[in-house]
Structure 1
Amino acid sequence: MNEISSIFSDAFDYWWLVVPLIILFFLRDFWRIYIVDKHIDNLDWILLELSIPKENLKSIKAMEQVIAALHGTYTWGLRPSEIWIEGKVEDWMSLEIVGFHDGVHFYIRTLRKNKRVVESAVFSQYPDAELFEVEDYVDRIKDKPFDQKDIFATDFIFMKEDPYPIRTYEYFEDPKDENRVDPIANITEVMSRLEANEALWIQILIQPTGKGWQDEGDEIISTIMGTNKKNKSSGILSSVAKDFGDVVTNIPGAVFTPPEFGESGSKEGDRFEFKFRSPGEETSMKAITTKMSKPAFHTVIRVVYIDDKENFTGENVTSVLGAMRQYSDHTLNSLKPNLKTLTKMSQVGKINKRQRLAERKKNMVLNYVNREMPRPVDFPFTKQPKLKSIIMNTEEIASIFHMPTDLVKSRKTSLIQSKRGQAPTDLPTKER
């Protein structure tokens, strides 16, 4: 304890240096918030509706390849000037399954500059698909008065760490046709039964990421194998305080002499251990390794259900939550509502519950309309629901967002009734 007191005492001796650094730290965050907001406000978005011929439906693997191609928008790292001067962030897209009374629709919302990327990705796997630029369907709702509407909304997050995968479409496939299942069937069935004033929207925001997240997966595998190094430190508070003291005491003299820092941790604890692994641990290691082998995205899964207050029913909400549970694997990972975004009375605090619940519902609808991703820096003291992304690879995303296969019998999906024919080879052409 005396050591910690001594370190902080040294820090106070250099208050004239520490205080400006703290102020600069906060100003940096406010500047980042401002320039990122300005950049995002100026983005040019388009909404594309996707339709596939009924007689040309492919396996879910085709949609996985589409999503893998969309990862091509990744920049592999923004330059400092792009981050701190232009306010740029990695481009993201929105994959959306939308249900109204008139049917089920599939959309891809992207930046106009990435339209060609989306078209190439889709047509490479679905040559007979149709991809139309359309007006945003949220306009059918957002301009109407909400005093007579009720809303359920939530984002979904993982139960475990990101490297653990959820159950994917390969689990539902079976060599025998009679045993095959399309996981999207539950969702489209609910949407196909919506009444005139109902709307059910599912939004999957995807923002490409690199390989940095895989370090956590490697660490989990090492822990399971028993080869993870154990570092016996003297305590978190002591370590942080010591590092802070080292920085402060070295800054004044760093111009003239190289800074010196004390060693942290103990070499005593750096040893390897081996342990026998259970079948569940073997399964986890294999699944994590497979997940890390495919392109991945920062992902937000968001659901909004809207209906008239007098007709609002929890049945459709329960059905959607149940549809998400089919991707659960207790050995690996599961999806659960992010309680900080869940529009439920018990999750908004203990004071002014009704008002706070109404604010959360409004904010969640705005998050959906704006296709809101977590920002690099959050504005302090905001009433907005705390957003959180998860890491999903192409296989996981395609398991939730894909065109219905021939196993889905819903009649209200946006499928082209007939295959688009090719032009006759003997069609006369105008001579030039």
Structure 2
Amino acid sequence: MFSELVELLKTTEWILVHGGWVLFAGLMLYMMYELYLEHIQIEWYNNQKWVFLKITVPPENERSPLAFEHVFEQLHSIQETFSWAETHLEGQMQMWFTWEITSIGGVIGNYVRISPKYRDTLEAAIYSEFPAAEISEAEDYFAKLPQYDPEKSPYDIYALTWRYTQRNEYPIRSYRYWEHPTAETMVDPIAGLWEEMGKISPYEMFILQFVMRPVGDEWKGRAKEFVQKLKGVPEFQEGHGHGNAMLGIIGKIIGPALDVLLRPDSEAKAGHVKEEPPSLMLHLTETEKQVITQIEAKIARWCYNTKIHGMYIAPREKYQPTLLLRSVIGALKSFGSDDMNALKPLLARWTRVKYYLFEEWEKPITQFRLHWRKRKYFKFMKNRFWLHGPPAQIMSSEELATLIHFPQLTVKVPQIDMVRVIKEQPPPDLPIVPGL
């Protein structure tokens, strides 16, 4: 055993002396660069200003989620491009915003946290689709809570994150799945979530937080290659990437020459060449074709990198998150299907930590892990920070509009913060009495 260790050390020394140190130095430089980049990004982020807005639902809303799809398409215009110096020297990065659906004591509200320079874009997008809605500055509800400590705070939390179950290319079911064109009606898929959020007690709070960051077209190249693979296009069957496609082109060029050299003359003249079909679309089932159509429709839309978090808050003596969380998880589960995508809680990060082998022996470690997760969740949900926390998934404007929209007139939501008095502009020919 000792001799094997000595031999391993000698081998490592030989590798380092004969050029291995270059690789080691490169890895160290890369790690230092990543730490430096995160440092300057956090410094830049700390200098940014934010505005917290309350979106009050218009009364007697008759607009479908399609209107909210247009809202998210307009909001995608906040995407920016940066120079090399702005990114690597100043730490600038693409900004994000949050849309938060809350239930505070059973009263459902909509809040948006966004950079002030994008406020006009947000207001224009919402007012163009919902003229009767109201947008006003509000106090952050997190600011009303005392500093959270898992052991000492008078309240406790339960937090979790939802993730896709499949690749980003697959969409979830959208609101179009529940539309009935013949009857000109739609069963609102999110109505069950509003119903459950409206039932919580006055001392409870639940937050469903969507952190959204516009994403460009850089992911669509890989997505289109994936679609070609699903269609059965030959050059995409053995793997992804332009490298495999290039090898296929080279093979087509030199293949006939190799046939002439390696085959007998009779076989070459007979032309025993097996022609492959352009794709296997004719052999796919109707369900498989529909999946491909849905993926192509998602690629064609504007998309966001999205993180979905949920948090339940209640006094310790009345802390009962199980019933509500089961209902919320079940409501979001209805948007999934076996042949496309689904939203599922990320079990490796939610605030429920299980022991590995021996419950009593592992209890101190389990408690430490649980408290660490709760502190971390509370911090990044309160700060709405993008760089930390679970990874994001790519969601289209249609998928987001399915999850975030105002209830229609036919949907009865128990307690939702709604505009009570509709404000109208005065008529242009209104007489004005001087001196009043």
TM-score (norm 1): 0.81
Q: Match for residue 97 of structure 1?
A: 101
Equivalent position SS for 1:298? strand
**Which position in structure 1 is the counterpart of 2:406?**
403
Partners in 2 of 1:73 and 1:17 — Cα distance? 42
- 2:133 maps to what in 1? 129
Paired position in structure 1 for 2:366: 353
Match of 1:372?
Answer: 385
1:282 and 2:295 are equivalent in the alignment: no
Matched with 2:266 is none
Q: Does 1:183 align with 2:186?
A: no
- Which residue of the partner structure matches residue 320 of structure 1? 328
- Report the Cα distance in structure 2 between the residues aligned to 1:144 and 1:24, rounded to whole angstroms: 38
Quote the Cα distance in structure 1 between the aligned partners of 2:357 and 2:400.
33
Number of equivalences: 386
Q: Deviations over 1:352-390 (max 9, x none)?
A: 011211210121111111112235xxxxxxxxxx51100
Give me the whole-angstrom Cα distance separating, in 2, the residues matched to 1:374 and 1:265. 39
Taking only aligned residues, the RMSD between alpha carbons, in angstroms, comes to 3.0
CA contact (8 A) 1:181 1:407 kept: no
**Which amino acid counterpart does residue 361 of structure 1 have in structure 2?**
K
Shift of 1:145: 6.2
Aligned counterparts, 1:27-426, within 5 A = 27-75=32-80, 77-101=81-105, 103-143=107-147, 147-175=153-181, 180-229=186-235, 274-275=279-280, 276-313=283-320, 314-346=322-354, 351=362, 352-374=365-387, 386-426=389-429
Indicate how the Cα distance of structure 1 residues 11 and 39 shifts in structure 2: closer, same or farther if over 3 A, else same: same
CA separation of 1:405 and 1:167: change in aligned 2, threshold 3 A: same
Q: 1:54 to 1:43 in 2, by over 3 A?
A: same
User: What residue is the counterpart of 1:14 in the other structure?
Assistant: 19
**Residues 410 and 391 (structure 1), Cα distance of their counterparts in 2 relative to 1, 3 Å cut:** same
Residue range with higher mean Cα deviation, 222-231 or 414-423:
222-231
Tell me the secondary structure at the aligned position of residue 117 of structure 2: helix
CA distance in 2, matches of 1:209, 1:356: 33
Taking the aligned partners of 1:349 and 1:405, their CA distance within structure 2 comes to 50
CA distance in 2, matches of 1:348, 1:29: 33
Return the letter of the residue paired with 2:221: D
1:74 and 1:208 in contact (8 A); partners too? yes
- In 1, Cα distance between equivalents of 2:357 and 2:88: 36
2-structure distance, mates of 1:294, 1:232:
28
AA in 2 matched with 1:367 = F
Q: Secondary structure at the match of 2:354?
A: helix
Does the 8 Å CA contact 2:159/2:311 hold for their aligned counterparts? yes
CA contact (8 A) 2:172 2:399 kept: yes
- Checking the alignment, whether the CA contact within 8 Å between 2:229 and 2:236 is kept in structure 1 is no
- Unaligned 5+ runs, structure 2: 1-12, 240-245, 256-274
CA distance in 1, matches of 2:111, 2:355: 31
- Aligned in 2, Cα 1:17/1:358: closer, same or farther, shift over 3 Å? closer
Shift of 1:326: 1.3
Contact 2:175 2:189 in 1 (8 A): yes
Deviations 1:234-271 (CA, angstroms, capped at 9, x unpaired): xxxxxxxxxxxxxxxxxxxxxxxxxxxxx999966999
Q: Aligned partners of 2:97, 2:368: CA distance in 1, in Å?
A: 32
State the shift of 1:396 in Å: 0.3
The DSSP-based 3-state class of the residue aligned with 1:53 is coil
Say which SS state the counterpart of residue 419 (structure 1) adopts. Answer: coil
For 1:335 and 1:27, locate their aligned partners in 2 and report how far apart those are by CA, in whole Å. Answer: 36
| Residues 148, 375 of structure 2: 8 Å contact kept | no
Q: Deviations over 1:198-225 (max 9, x none)?
A: 1100011110011111123212211111
For 1:220 and 1:387, the matched residues in 2 are separated by 25
Q: After superposition, what is the alpha-carbon deviation per residue over 1:289-331, rounded to whole angstroms, capped at 9, x for unaligned?
A: 0001110010001111112333232100101101111111211
Contact 1:163 1:216 in 2 (8 A): no
Q: Which moved more, 1:266-275 or 1:278-287?
A: 266-275
Contact 2:148 2:378 in 1 (8 A): no
Deviates more, 1:304-313 or 1:42-51: 304-313
- State the distance in 1 between where 2:222 and 2:329 align: 28
**TM-score computed with the length of structure 2 as normaliser:** 0.81
Once residues 31 and 15 of structure 1 are traced to their aligned partners in structure 2, the CA distance between those partners, rounded to angstroms, is 25
Residues 355 and 366 in structure 2, CA contact (< 8 A), matched pair in contact too: no
